[in-house]
Amino acid sequence: MNTCVNCGNKIGIFEKHKCNDGYICQNCYRRIPGFIRYDLKHYDVYIIRNIHGYFFNTMKYRFDSTASYGNLLVDEINGLIGIKSHDEISIFNALDLKDIDIIATDIFADKNNRVKCNIELRCETDNPPMMFKTYIKKNVFCKSKRVDYEHISWEMPSEIAVIKIVINNALQRAEEKFIKSISNDNLSLHDIEIIKAKALFMIDGEYNISSIKEQRDRLLKTFHPDNDHYIDDKYSKKIIHSFNLLKKELGESNEEN
């Protein structure tokens, strides 16, 4: 019988879920949003615990949806974004979404030659470090017309542009709140860079060179371009840059590339 690497409980053969460094139990698995579970094998227990903690904290936010599109909800007033999955809403602070895009995918023509697509949300976050994609709406009609016997021309659904504007509004609001908070604390740009680096490395409190080296290696392994994530080496460069900032704060020299 296996042991859950997260909570330590014993798990039966039909209740275990594979992660990067072992198995987690059904209870720990259910606490992970559905749109992240499909990629669970790439996350180790350290990141899984941070995912649990992140959504435990964001569920306390006041979330008042001002716009929605399929499974995507946006609170433009409070700068929050929600994703519905399995009858639950997972909430993100818009500033935590390092990269976000909405695309039309799985484009096809039905038997009546009407073009349809699925709308997919793709996101990347620094803290906790995650990359995920999820369908927010399926079988959306696209404006189309037949060009000849073999070809049909089509256009992206117009609502994609609209929901992107709504998300930008939420991001702008979140940025305004963040700038106001750091202005009150009189933080410099360097201070902000260190805060971001600590967020990426999930540092809460004191740290040393050994701990950040260990976390750097863990992040580089998890988000290596050779994995089947839709990523390139820019994320690896960000990890190294953050490591060098934290290393310099400790008084260490010799930056790494």
- Considering only 46-50, 51-55, 108-112, 192-196, which range has the smallest mean pLDDT? 192-196
Tell me the HSE value of 40 on the side-chain side, using a 13 A CA sphere.
Answer: 23
Residues ≥6 apart with Cβ < 8 Å to 158: 143
Instruction: Verify that 164 and 127 share a domain, yes or no.
Output: yes
In a domain, 255, yes or no: no
Question: Can you give the residue range of the structural domain that contains 2?
Answer: 1-60
Check whether residue 44 and residue 79 sit in a common domain: no
Name the residue with tokens 């992206």.
Answer: 156
Cβ atoms < 10 Å from Cβ of 56: 10
- Per the DSSP assignment, residues forming a β-bridge with 97 are 125
- At 94, phi and psi to the nearest 5? -55, -30
Both 145 and 165 in one domain: the answer is: yes
User: Is the domain of 175 the same as that of 66?
Assistant: yes
Q: 81 with 164, same domain?
A: yes
Give the pLDDT confidence of 167-194 residue by residue, as tens digits.
Answer: 888 888 887 777 777 666 666 778 778 8
DSSP 136: E
Q: Which of 10, 25, 60 is the last residue of a domain?
A: 60
Domain identity same for 46 and 154: no
Q: Which among 30, 45, 60 is the end of a domain?
A: 60
Q: Give the dihedral sign, CA 35/138/174/194.
A: positive
Predicted local confidence at residue 55, as pLDDT: 94
The answer to whether residue 160 sits within a structural domain is yes
pTM of the predicted structure, to 2 decimals: 0.69
Q: End of a domain among 179, 210, 233? A: 179
Report the CATH number at residue 170.
2.30.29
Considering the domain architecture, whether residues 96 and 169 belong to the same structural domain is answered as yes
Whether residue 257 lies inside any domain: the answer is no
Say if 5 falls within a structural domain: yes
Asked whether residue 50 falls in the same domain as residue 121, the answer is: no
- For residue 139, name the pLDDT band (cuts at 50, 70, 90): very high
Do residues 239 and 231 make contact, with C-beta atoms less than 8 angstroms apart? no
At 4-24, the pLDDT tens digits run 999 999 998 888 999 998 999
Whether 71 contacts 83, CB under 8 Å: yes
pLDDT tens readout for residues 62-121:
898 888 899 999 988 888 999 998 788 999 998 888 889 999 999 998 888 889 999 999
CA atoms of 74 and 40, how far apart (whole Å): 26
| Number of domains observed in the structure of the chain | 3
